[in-house]
Amino acid sequence: MNFTIEKTRTNKGTSLLDFPDSYIIIDIETTGLDPIYDEIIEITVLKVNQDKIVDTFTTLIKPTKPINPFITELTGITNDMVENSPSITDVLPDFLTFIKNETLIGHNINFDINFLYDNFIKTGHEKGLTNNFVDTLRLGRKTLKNLKHHRLKDLAAYYNIDTTGAHRSTKDCEITYQVYLHLKSQIKKEYGSLEQFLRQNQPKTFTASSLTTTKTEFNTDNPLYNKYIAITGTLTKFTRKEAMQIILDLGGHCEDKVTEKTNYLILGNNDYNPILRGKKSSKLKKAEQLKLKGYDIEILSENIFYDFISQS
């Protein structure tokens, strides 16, 4: 069994199911799909206050390698257009000043967030990009369930939004902004209020005992094999349910609570900084108490957990 683990974006913000009135609409254009090999060539962000656009930040960016013809055909951005544009190193500080700590909104926004996060790291910004974010793709899937696809152009077509000039970041931001307002309005009408929609779309609860594995053969050398494991906090790579399923598929046992049987407590990376400030979960407190009493329990960081499951 093999699990491919991407480099963890430790400080990445949280994906929210929410409807802020003040936020930043964001879109980027890139030379490809992989932030390891490809580059950002345009950024636009719209600052919105009480659902009204109040400011705009937009710039072309000169990549270190030529833009290939396919990207030029798709976006209309040529090498001549970016020849005198600033580098990503010069742009990111201004971008960060503009967005501050506002919630970001975009369509399939994880793509934009991951590209920006990795570029912050590459250019020496140790924290990456920490802003929380809302994905209109996620909202669209929950709201327009009868649509076959939920791409930005699909939602724009549904709401009769003009897409002339799409695949440039400014136009895509404007389309996303309109889509978000339409989704908000439709949800209010269908659910009576945004709060009612959020209540009805809370993640379904589950228990560790409700999960099973279909695997019959296990690598007994894996550190998680036949171990009792609990999780505290929010993981950055997987949902808790997905992580528990991986543990079960490796021959481990999942627990909802820390008990005297627990061998490992996995601590989500997003909870590391709060712990430094003395805000510990009840599971972590219980694990520390048991360890001081001599029980066989270890507290694993999320990154160590990923190392363990890669050893299958």
Higher pLDDT, 97 or 10: 97
Residue 295 lies in a domain: yes
Q: Please tell me whether residues 154 and 21 are part of one structural domain.
A: yes
pLDDT at residue 302, rounded to an integer: 87
- Segment of 121-135, 157-171, 221-235, 294-308 carrying the highest mean pLDDT: 157-171
Residues 104 and 131: their CA atoms lie apart, in Å, by 7
How far is residue 221 from each of residues 3, 8, 190, 218, 251, measured CA to CA in Å? 16, 24, 53, 9, 10
At 77 the three-state DSSP class reads coil
pLDDT at residue 64, rounded to an integer: 96
pLDDT in tens, 162-211: 999 999 999 999 999 999 999 999 999 999 999 999 888 876 677 888 89
pLDDT bucket at 312, cuts 50 / 70 / 90 = low
Q: Please tell me whether residues 179 and 248 are part of one structural domain.
A: no
Residue 1 lies in a domain: no
Q: Please tell me whether residues 21 and 141 are part of one structural domain.
A: yes
pLDDT bucket at 276, cuts 50 / 70 / 90 = very low
Q: Please tell me whether residues 62 and 86 are part of one structural domain.
A: yes
Written as six digits, the tokens of 222 are 């894996």
Q: Please tell me whether residues 27 and 148 are part of one structural domain.
A: yes
Task: Tell me which residue of 176, 146, 144 sits closest to 161, measured CA to CA.
Answer: 176
Q: In terms of residue numbers, what domain contains 115?
A: 15-200
DSSP 229-280: EEEES--SSS-HHHHHHHHHHTT-EE-SS--TT--EEEE-GGGHHHHHTT--
pTM, to two decimals: 0.67
**Of 181, 200, 219, which one is at a domain's C-terminal end?**
200
Q: What is the DSSP letter of 22?
A: S
pLDDT at residue 239, rounded to an integer: 83
pLDDT at residue 72, rounded to an integer: 96
pLDDT at residue 222, rounded to an integer: 92
pLDDT at residue 279, rounded to an integer: 66
**Of 146, 174, 200, which one is at a domain's C-terminal end?**
200
Beta bridge partners of 56: 46
pLDDT in tens, 80-126: 999 999 999 999 999 999 999 999 999 999 999 999 999 999 999 98
Higher pLDDT, 72 or 275: 72
Residue 9 lies in a domain: no
Residue 251 lies in a domain: yes
Written as six digits, the tokens of 14 are 């949280």
Q: Please tell me whether residues 169 and 230 are part of one structural domain.
A: no
The domain that holds 269 is classified in CATH as 3.40.50.10190
Q: Please tell me whether residues 131 and 29 are part of one structural domain.
A: yes
Residue 298 lies in a domain: yes
CA dihedral 267, 272, 276, 282 (to 10 degrees): -40
Higher pLDDT, 241 or 139: 139
Residue 160 has pLDDT above 90, yes or no: yes
Q: Please tell me whether residues 194 and 227 are part of one structural domain.
A: no
pLDDT at residue 180, rounded to an integer: 98
Q: Please tell me whether residues 249 and 286 are part of one structural domain.
A: yes
pLDDT at residue 200, rounded to an integer: 85
Residues 132 and 267: their CA atoms lie apart, in Å, by 20
Average pLDDT over residues 253-282: 78
**Of 138, 168, 200, which one is at a domain's C-terminal end?**
200
pLDDT bucket at 65, cuts 50 / 70 / 90 = very high
Other CB atoms within 10 Å distance of the CB of residue 173: 25
